[in-house]
């Protein structure tokens, strides 16, 4: 609060009192009055009005109560996976750290303190940033409705710290030779199995073939329907995926609009799918009435939808089987077959735009930044090519000089 002198339109010098007021969310406004006492009265009236308005509109609601109410309100308007992530962030981080704060008392500094505490607990930087993003999303409707003038989570800013996820497993991929040998082993082309009772051909070889050749996500593979596969035209349509909603497997829309795509099937994929369909039809006839028809390309052995954990277990056992044949395979996860596909495509010189469309990425930055893991051999070869490009001319000149 201070006295301020100014001139009116007629050039007469006048004085009034002014004060800079900062609200709970960090906003700033100026109040003016002709006298100090009048200014104090205006400040008191403003604070009383804001407090009463906040009490009425927020209902003296705590952040914890609001987050529970917000999660219920968006239950059916966001994807199940997105809702599960919001619920986990609220349950593990936001409610324990800020749940007792009244909504209109929450300050950006309170949010920043919580983020720092999460980092001090050893959580990854990406995890802490995601928790802040969830809080920002949750508080956005309050700003839109005028209950909060600013979003404290937005004003808090991103937490400082190591931006690389801590203890994150290094991404691994297979070379082209390793992928080809693995598929040959799954087809039973590497001789008889070394384990007694082990079948010659793996039942899920077509699943692994599509994952390695077309880079489809696990949910897209497990939710693929025969009605979306055209073996004659050599194409398939991806417009759904299999997901877990409260323990129940359901077909749901794909990850994004870019994930809705039609991709071509190379001859190897067509051969694998035709053989897989023939085996599936034979199993239908064998099981007769016990077969659960869902139209899935990759169901369980009884026709029902396959859980992702089961697919991961089958893939791990398939890799162990390949190693029993003497194949040296790096230990990769099911999803890393998708990374292998993207990396091999880019190393083969296929346009990143084509790879982006094949994988169903909304942005080419994802394709080039996350899914392009250059192998050491390819990196070494690039160094040799660049060396020949830079020094090739000078070497040619030296040879000509020496010849003269």
CATH assignment at residue 219: 1.10.443.10
Is 150 in the same domain as 187?
Answer: no
Q: How many domains does the chain divide into?
A: 3
pLDDT given for residue 321 in this prediction: 87
399: buried, middle or exposed (CB in 10 Å: 19+, 13-18, 0-12)?
exposed
Task: Enter the tokens of residue 139.
Answer: 């508080």
d(CA 349, CA 207): 25
pLDDT given for residue 59 in this prediction: 47
Boundary of a domain, candidates 35, 58, 81:
58
Is 207 in the same domain as 337?
Answer: yes
14: buried, middle or exposed (CB in 10 Å: 19+, 13-18, 0-12)?
exposed
Is 254 in the same domain as 289?
Answer: yes
Is 216 in the same domain as 322?
Answer: yes
Which domain CATH number covers 129? 1.10.150.130
Is 203 in the same domain as 259?
Answer: yes
Is residue 387, in this structure, part of any structural domain at all?
no
**Domain of residue 34, residue span:** 2-58
Is 308 in the same domain as 285?
Answer: yes
Is 24 in the same domain as 94?
Answer: no
pLDDT given for residue 51 in this prediction: 57
pLDDT given for residue 56 in this prediction: 43
pLDDT tens digits in sequence order for the chain, 404 residues long: 667 776 777 777 777 778 777 765 566 677 777 777 777 777 777 666 665 555 445 547 899 999 999 999 998 888 888 888 999 999 999 999 999 999 888 999 999 999 999 999 989 888 999 999 999 999 999 988 888 888 999 998 777 765 444 444 567 899 999 999 999 999 888 755 555 445 556 789 999 999 999 999 999 999 999 999 999 999 999 999 998 877 788 898 887 888 999 999 999 999 999 999 999 999 999 998 899 999 999 999 999 999 999 999 999 999 998 888 888 899 999 999 999 999 898 888 888 899 999 999 988 888 877 755 555 665 566 666 666 767 765 555 555 556 54
pLDDT given for residue 196 in this prediction: 45
Is residue 382, in this structure, part of any structural domain at all?
no
Name the pairing type of β-strands 2-7 and 13-22. Answer: antiparallel
Residue from 216, 210, 294 nearest 250 by CA = 294
């Amino acid at each position: 609060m201070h006295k301020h002198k100014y001139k009116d339109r007629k050039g007469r010098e006048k004085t009034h009192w002014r004060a800079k007021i900062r609200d709970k969310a960090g906003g700033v406004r100026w109040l003016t009055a002709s006298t100090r006492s009048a200014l104090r009265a205006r400040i008191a009236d403003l604070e009383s009005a804001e407090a009463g308005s906040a009490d009425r509109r927020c209902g003296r609601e705590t952040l914890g109560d609001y987050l529970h109410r917000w999660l219920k309100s968006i239950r059916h308007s966001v994807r199940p996976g997105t809702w599960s992530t919001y619920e986990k962030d609220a349950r593990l981080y936001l409610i324990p750290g800020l749940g007792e704060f009244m909504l209109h008392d929450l300050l950006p500094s309170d949010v920043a303190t919580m983020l720092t505490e999460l980092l001090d607990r050893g959580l990854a930087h990406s995890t802490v940033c995601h928790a802040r993003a969830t809080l920002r999303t949750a508080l956005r409707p309050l700003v839109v409705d005028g209950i909060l003038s600013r979003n404290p989570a937005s004003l808090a800013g991103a937490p400082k710290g190591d931006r690389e996820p801590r203890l994150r497993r290094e991404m691994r991929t297979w070379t082209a030779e390793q992928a080809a040998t693995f598929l040959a082993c799954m087809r039973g082309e590497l001789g008889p199995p070394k384990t007694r009772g082990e079948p010659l051909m793996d039942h899920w070889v077509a699943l692994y073939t599509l994952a390695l050749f077309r880079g489809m996500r696990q949910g897209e593979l497990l939710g693929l329907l025969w009605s979306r596969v055209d073996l004659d035209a050599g194409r398939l349509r991806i417009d759904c995926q299999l997901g877990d909603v409260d323990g129940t497997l359901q077909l749901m829309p794909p990850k994004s609009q870019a994930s809705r795509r039609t991709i071509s099937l190379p001859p190897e994929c067509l051969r694998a799918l035709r053989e897989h369909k023939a085996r599936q039809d034979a199993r239908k006839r064998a099981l007769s009435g016990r077969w659960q028809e869902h139209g899935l390309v990759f169901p369980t052995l009884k026709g029902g939808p396959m859980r992702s954990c089961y697919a991961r277990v089958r893939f791990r056992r398939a890799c162990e089987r390949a190693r029993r044949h003497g194949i040296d395979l790096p230990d990769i996860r099911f999803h890393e077959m998708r990374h292998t596909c993207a990396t091999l495509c880019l190393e083969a010189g296929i346009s990143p735009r084509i790879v982006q469309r094949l994988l169903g990425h909304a942005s080419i930055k994802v394709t080039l930044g996350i899914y392009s893991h250059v192998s050491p051999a390819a990196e070494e070869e690039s160094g040799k090519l660049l060396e020949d490009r830079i020094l090739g001319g000078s070497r040619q000149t030296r040879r000509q000089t020496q010849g003269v």
